[in-house]
Each structure stands twice: as C-alpha cells, then as structure tokens.
Structure 1
C-alpha cells in the first residue's frame, strides 16, 4: 500500500530516552544524554635526524563528564533525595546509563566507574516565558565497567 510504513526492530528511532541509576538508586528516565565518551591524550615526540616523521605516543585516557537532562517530573524527587546526602561527604560510586527505545526495550547500557555527582542544575522560572521547566545532572567518572 502506497504511503504506508512500519518500524522494524533494527530501526534506531528518534525517541530514545535514558535511564540513570547511581549506586543502585533509580533516578528515572532522562530525555538527553550528552558528553559520554573518552579520549586518549597523545604526546608528540620528534626523533632527531628524521624530519619526515613524528611519533604519536599515547599517554593517558581522559573521560569526559556526562550530562543528562529532562523536564521536571515526579522522579525529580529522587534526585533531590540524592542531593540531601552530599553534605555528609562525596563518595565515588558506580552508575548505569541505559538507552531505551520508546517501548522501554534496552538498546545499550554503559556502566561507569568511580562516579561523582559534580553538578545539578534546577529549573529557571520566568513568568514572561512559556517554557518547560527542566533539570540536568552532571557526572564525572573514571572508566567504564561494562558496555552491553
């Protein structure tokens, strides 16, 4: 039938959302996930007498902070509960970020090691603007536990 289409199980879709758990605490679903990644720092070494070649020597792995964002929702209370524990001291833990399809089927999950909550940003309220109130959480980490 002309003009008809169906989604297949391999369709990546555009409505992916993310589930965040820190030390087993489910912090709910998030609309966006930005910054998840790592890079290898490279030192350049110029060998004497060989002007046509520069050694690219890997030195260390650097993990970029990851930021998750969403509109305010009932799960925001779970984040507030996590924030109340910060004055007792910051501890490194683990986190899992799962990318989910609209039907909540798992696409992929990343386990993060030595996670520290470095920033939470709450909503800005301006009565002259009609925008969704959002929150974001930023995490620093030191390596991946598992990717699956």
Structure 2
C-alpha cells in the first residue's frame, strides 16, 4: 500500500484563514484594514421561450453584475481614503485598480489575489462615537468596480 504524502505543498487542501489578508490601493499607503466583505459577481439569467415549444422556458447568461466591496478600517489622522471619496463627491471620479490578497499561514506570502478593476468609492460611513465606549473607531468605505479577476 503506497504511503500518503503528508507534507504541505503550495497546493495544500487546508482552508485559508480569513484574518490573514492585505490590500493594495494605489495612492493609499495605509494597510490597516480590519475587514473586506462583499467580493462577488452575478450573471443575471435571461429567460425565453423556445420557438415551437411554448411550455418550455430556457435561460441564457445575461448582464454581469459585480457586488460592491466594503472595506472597514481603524480611523487614523491620515485622510487618504477620505480624499479619494471627496474627489468622487466633487465629480472627479478617480478610478484605481485595487487588489485583495489572501496570505498563507506564515502571514506574509501571497496565496490568492482578487483584482478589482477601475474601482472608485461610492459610500463612506464615519465611525460611531460613544462617550462610554472603549472600542476602536472603525470607518467604512464601499467600492464600486467594473471587473473582478481571481489570480
């Protein structure tokens, strides 16, 4: 009976940890994001009746819709993300290619990457303030984008 290879190689079947990730946004030096959510794509089905067979409804792929991605990050004095949002508010949409990288168990090696092409901020929410709270102030920035690629 052949022995099973128990070493973990680059294609390890173990699931990745969701807390080891990094973001790259051109023009934004900070990298302290606490959460990335909403990565997704949907192809809307188009329904049609096939000629001659009135009772059968078939489907075919329709428009592609990319979900908006939400970034959460600890509030700091640096205003790079707010400046990017402010440009959109003023009608100067600055599209940037954003990358979300999952990291290997060592926390430094890139294992997986999603590229969001032509991303721009479409929503910002300030951190809730509470005079009795002790939590870190966390802001939210939501991005809209044209295309998603998994590398």
Same fold? TM cut 0.5: yes
Distance 1:40 1:15, change over 3 A: closer
Distance 1:92 1:15, change over 3 A: closer
Partner of 1:114: 118
Q: Which runs of 5+ in 1 are unaligned?
A: 1-7
Distance 1:13 1:73, change over 3 A: farther
Task: Give 1:46's match in structure 2, choosing from 49, 63, 69.
Answer: 49
Map 1:6-85 onto structure 2 (within 5 A).
Answer: 10=12, 11-12=14-15, 14=17, 16-23=19-26, 25-47=28-50, 49-50=52-53, 53-73=56-76, 77-83=79-85, 85=87
The number of aligned residues is 139
- Report the structure, 1 or 2, having the larger strand content: 1
Indicate if the aligned counterparts of 2:28 and 2:81 stay in contact, CA closer than 8 A.
no
Indicate if the aligned counterparts of 2:44 and 2:61 stay in contact, CA closer than 8 A.
yes
Q: Which moved more, 1:38-47 or 1:128-137?
A: 128-137
Q: Which runs of 5+ in 2 are unaligned?
A: 1-7
Partner of 1:103: 107
Q: CA deviation at 1:14?
A: 3.7
Residue 137, structure 1, aligned to residue 141, structure 2: yes
Distance 1:120 1:18, change over 3 A: farther
